[in-house]
Every structure is written in C-alpha cells, then in structure tokens.
Amino acid sequence: MDRELDFDFSFDLETIDTTSASDDFERPVPDFLSSLNDPQREAALHTEGPLLVLAGAGSGKTKMLTSRIAYLISHLKVRPWQILAVTFTNKAAGEMRERVYGILAKQGIQRHEVQGPLDIGTFHAICARILRREADRLPFTQPFVIFDDSDQLSLLKSIVRNLGIDEKIYPPKSFQYAINRFKCDAIDFDSPLAKTGRGIDRKLPEVWAAYTKAMIENNALDFGEMITATYRLLRDHPDVREKYQRRYRYIHVDEYQDTNRAQYLLLSLLASPAHGSHGNICVVGDEDQSIYGWRGADIKNILDFEREYPGAHVVKLEQNYRSTQVIVEAASKLISHNSQRKNKTLFSEQEVGDPIVRVQCPDDRFEAEVVVKEIKRLTQDHPELALNEFAVFYRTHAQSRLVEEYLRQAKLPYKVVGGLRFFDRKEIKDVMAYLRLVYNHSDSISFKRIINVPARGIGKTTLDKLEAAWGQEGSLWNFFSKELHGGSLFSGKTLKKLQEFKRMVERWIEAQPGMLVSELYHQMLDDTRYVEELKQEGSDESLERIDNLEEFNSVVLEFEERELEGLSKEEIERRKPLLLGRFLEQTTLAEAPDTDGVSASVQLMTFHACKGLEFPVVFMLGVEEGLFPSVHGEDTQKEAEELEEERRLCYVGMTRARERLYMCHATFRRVWGDLLYQYPARFFDEIPGHYIEIRDYSKAKE
C-alpha cells in the first residue's frame, strides 16, 4: 500500500531565487575536491549547462556526484531546494544524502544549518512529492494512496472476474505485465498503440480502461502511473512545468542508462531548453552497464543525450578503483565488441592480479562441486577471507539449486540475494505439496496449499467453509471426501469443481505405486496445467518459475539415478511403491536450512542482482551459448540487441570482482531430463587468451 514518500514541501515556489550560480569570478577550489581525480573534479566543477558523465564500473561516480552537490551548496551558495538528485533505490538515495551532509559538515555547515530539504530521492519519491502538491490538477484527490504490485494485481483479478474474462486464457498477471510495460513507454490506455499493436492481447484495452477507472475510484496510483501522471501534469500544464523548472535549477540523475521512456520524457520537461528550461542537467551513467532492457530501460536515453542537449559537455570517468588490472582490461576487451556504446576504456592502477580462471567442467553438477571446493580451499589458504566475500553469479535462479546442495553438504552457510532458496520458492513448494498429499492424504497443510493451485475456482470462502465444518477432527481429506459423497455443505458449481479436484488427486494416489517419481511429477504438471498457466502469463517471473520447475525435474531424476542404479527392470518395479516416500524424506532433509542466522555467508545471486555490489572473489556459472548469453544467434536486429545486453551483463559480472574471477562452463547440462551438449560462450573468444588461465576438468568423469 501507500509508502512513506512524503516530505516537507512547504517552501513557496513563487518566491524562490531563480538566479543561477554562474562562474562570473574566480573561486578557489575547495579542499574536499582535492581528493577527486582530474575527470571527477572536472565534472564536479562544471555546474552550468548539460553535462554527461560516462562513469565506468568502479570509477567513483557517487563520490563525484556528492562532491558536486556539496560544492553547489557550500561554495556557489545554491539553495538546497534548487537541487534535485534522482536515483533508483531508497538505499542509494539515503547514502547519497548522508554523504552530502558529511561533506558539508567538514566544511563547517551542520545539517540543521542547511536551509531547506535536500531533494535527493527515487523517481517515485520525487513524483509523489509533486503529485501531492498539485493534486488539484489531477483526477485524484488528496490524500491519494499508492498501490504496490500486489495491490495492483489484486485489483486486476477482480476486474477480470467482473468482466467475465476467463482467467485461464487471460491470466491477470499478463495484463499487469502489459500495462506496466506500456506505462514505462509513457503510453496511455486510450492511445492507439495500446489498442492495436505489438502483439498485446485483444482484451487489454477493455481491462486497462476498467482498471484506470477503478484506480481513480480508489483514489490510488500504481508505481508506473506515478511517473506517467507527473509527466502528463508537466506536459499539459505549462504553468506547473515552469514552476518546477524554476525550482529545480540543478538536476542530477544517477544510473541514467537505466531510465525508461517515461522517466526520460519527465526529465526532458524539467530540464531541456527545448521545453523552455535552463538545461542544467547532469546525468551520470554507463551504457556498458545497461542491463535492464527487459523491464523497460532504454539505452538510447544515454546514447542520444548529446542530441537532446546540443553542446553538452562530456566527461569520462575511466579509472577503476575496484578491480585488478587483469580483470579491468579483460572486461574492457569484452565490452569493446558492442556497437551500442560510447568510446571509452577502463583502466586500473591496482595490482596486476591473478589471471581469470576459466573452469571447464564435464557437467553442471561437477561445476557446482568444484566451485564449493574452491571456496573451501581459498578460505583455508587465505583465512583473512570471510565467506561473505565470496559471490556466485548465475543467469537463472534455477541454477542456484546445485550450488546450494553442495554448500549444505560442505556445511558452508549461504544467502540467496534478491531471491529465495530453491526449496522455498512458491512453485517448488506447490509441487512438493502435491507430492506430499499423494503420499499422505492426511496432510492438511499440503491439501489447503494446492486445492486452488493453479486457480480452479475454489476460493478462500469455500476453503474457510470446509475448515469450519471440519473442526480439526480427524483427517481433512477424509472429511472432504465424505462431504463430496452425500454431504450438504456444497452444491452446484462449487461441488463440481471440488469433485474434479478430488478425482484428479485420487487418480494420482491410485497410480503412484506403479510410477517413478518423475512420471508422477510430469503427470501432475499435465493434469494441473501448471506450466501452461505460467506460459500464458508471459511475464519474466513466470518464465523463471518454469525454469525452477525444470530444475526440480533434475532433482527428481538425480534421485532416481541414485536409487535405481544397477537394478534390473524387475527390481525397479518392486522399488516403485517406495520411491515417493524416500524422495520426500531425502528432499525435506535437504531443504532444512541449518545455517540461518550466520552473518558471514557465501552470496548467491543472479547477474542482474549483482549490479552495484563488489566482492574479492566471484564465480560466474554457466557461461555457455544459449544460457549465458541466453540468445542463440544475432540474425535479426532484436537478437543482435539482446546479445549486446547479454554482453553488458557479462561485463557487469566481471567488474564486480576485486581480486579473483572464475568463469565456469559445463560440457553437459540437464534440461527437462535430457543431458544437452553445451558450447562455451562466445565471450571466451572475445577475451584475449593472456588474461585467462584454463582449468580443464571436462574429462574428469571419463
């Protein structure tokens, strides 16, 4: 629901001094700028006109930005409320604000002496401030609330039901995904683009119109609407636009390569001379680290900045303070193969460092095992390295499963950053609940979890009614079965749906003694249409869930290989009735997290989650064609652009490593039960060989 996005906006915009801090006389360079390198200092001192700062990985952009803001306040006497700084996370905004206050304090200006608020915040926070002040210009009233993603989805679900739309054919999440993507591009629900093109489902205009109406009735905005509503406000009301152009005389944008179309248009209205503004905008970013195209970020915003702002001054921050020379130079060679980039080359004055280790493995299980063994070896040889200084990166969440398994076996604590442990993920808990119910139909927890998963029209009211009548006496499944055969609790459509569910589970129970666990698992996915439902959603989240279900299939097959190895067909048939119980026992024990609460833990995360972080030791898994990069070719413009984003993602991963970097790939990887031959990623061909040490374990299993 509504987040804490408000802050003091009591200053009278009409009485603010709108003169700029021009350099009409010589000013001494303040002491706090002396710690900056020459390009950083150049950017901090260039206060008038548009400025593009191309800040390579680890080049000290935050230090430059905070020094620049402090310089404006302490030496150019710019009023704090005339400065706007926008970034993408509350954490980054908070850190930036505190660093500015820290610099000012060293100049003898204490926090309470800074006259007015420092407008440093996320896009959403800044927009909330403007919208609350200008609520009388909106179709909303003050106070409005802000719906988060779950609120938004809940509303869309009710709209889809009210419109009589079949949720199985048109999942509400697919509408949520489409609406949010259109809002990233500043496209309104009544735009011809929203009604006709880009493969959007034909039901979208009807749903979106109803959703827009409902949001107004709820006096609520979603996250996307906060940006687009502010953009429309400034676009359609010249007096409001001029007011904020006068207020925000110095605009700063961090991570500019991650802005989407709506954010770009909003900033243009505030700062561009084409819209009558001052042009004092400083954008800081690195097109080589633009990795969020899948969620609407548009790399053209940073590449075309000089076209939008003719005469813009450009400063390149190319010195990397994070990584060894080997890592920086190798990453620079890799990214130079991209065409969508500015001409810049990172360099490091750190130590030369060890070569990048290319680890060639026979399969994905060996890959996980060798990574964990290397972590153990390094911690023994280098006791100064804590476990939280090791990071393992992967392209898909599903790849964490094997690493988790070997870390548990080695009794090494770990943390999945930006996600859940494999067995804690919703889709895995769902299929485990199905299997547990088949094995033990007295398991009321599993029964309640999956009675309406995927959605089959058995709602919470029905389940509450069943539980109330049950009263916790005996088995819920037995009570449920009796009610469906002669009971009076349910009737009509509800009774029919419950009977269909019961028949489906009973078929599995009857067939289980004669089935392998893998056969039962596939039968469950087929009967429930679990994967088909996720495919219809079409979101990135649903595709990740399919990947996890695919990895769970590998869990099942690996178990069967261990249990049935060397047995005859007759012996396998005799073992089948026991397999499900043994699988559930072993898997449940594997689930148990025995390392929670340990502060020093190996960090596991996707490449997308690693941006902004750094570690002494980094392992990159699955550097293979089709997996990473996830595109197979570059025959079309779209494929070529996707490949460049994958290369940027690899560059980001490489430049997170400070001292040691391992890039791993497997010859075979299991996909839905099949061992597929994998080719090493083309990225290895793009890094000169003298930066790489090869450890070839590919024949280890022969």
Which residues are part of the catalytic machinery? 61-62, 254-255, 289, 656
User: What is the residue whose two structure tokens read 């700084």?
Assistant: 85
For 449, residues 6+ apart whose C-beta sits below 8 A from its C-beta are: 429, 430, 433
8 A C-beta contact, residue 325 and residue 352? yes
DSSP H helical ranges for 358-399:
364-381
Look at residues 322, 347, 349, 336 and name the one whose alpha carbon lies nearest to residue 288: 336
8 A C-beta contact, residue 530 and residue 431? yes
* Residue 275 Cα distances to 83, 230, 245, 265, 636, angstroms: 19, 15, 10, 11, 36
Q: DSSP 3-state assignment of 595?
A: coil
Q: In the structure encoding, which two tokens stand for residue 159, read together?
A: 């709209």
Neighbours of 149 (CB within 10 A): 12
User: How far out from the chain centre does Cα 546 lie?
Assistant: 17
Q: ∠346-281-11 over CA atoms, to 5°? A: 135
8 A C-beta contact, residue 20 and residue 280? yes
The C-alpha atoms of residue 446 and residue 431 are separated, in whole angstroms, by 10
8 A C-beta contact, residue 534 and residue 650? no
Look at residues 489, 409, 495 and name the one whose alpha carbon lies nearest to residue 457: 495
For 429, residues 6+ apart whose C-beta sits below 8 A from its C-beta are: 423, 449
The C-alpha atoms of residue 70 and residue 103 are separated, in whole angstroms, by 7
Backbone angles phi, psi at 629, to 5 degrees: -75, 145
The C-alpha atoms of residue 65 and residue 85 are separated, in whole angstroms, by 9
